[in-house]
Structure 1
Amino acid sequence: MPERDPTSPWRIPLVREVAAILLIKLTLLLGIKAIWFDAPTVPQDGQQRVESHLLGQPSAPSSTSTEETPR
């Protein structure tokens, strides 16, 4: 009996197609990352805005009363 040569997985058409699709997807994802997500954007006074939103600012007592008068 003659020995069989080991077959390479690259000889199977499905393996080549899947590898090509994965390579294309990886290239597109890295391209998108490089274009749109190249550097983080930090807003001006971001820390103060977050603090005031989460913790709130103490309200100063106003001179005008907004309470209703009892009837």
Structure 2
Amino acid sequence: MLRLPRRGSGELTLRCRVVRSFIYGFDDAGEESVVRYRAALEFIGLSDEERAAVREECVQLKGGTTDS
């Protein structure tokens, strides 16, 4: 499950599976290091509404708009 925080409307919980992941880097956290990962996800059984919400979030992250 992926919990995707949404601006102004709570969060969206989506079924998915990890198809690929790798270590992206390390961050110092005091005396320990924190491992950063990148992952490719495959969403499972999304409704049309969930698919539209994910698309909208991706577009907003890129600084665009879903308006045509």
* Bucket of the pairwise TM-score, normalised by the shorter protein: under 0.3
**TM-score w.r.t. structure 1 length?**
0.24
Higher strand content, 1 or 2: 2
**TM-score w.r.t. structure 2 length?**
0.25
Higher helix content, 1 or 2: 1
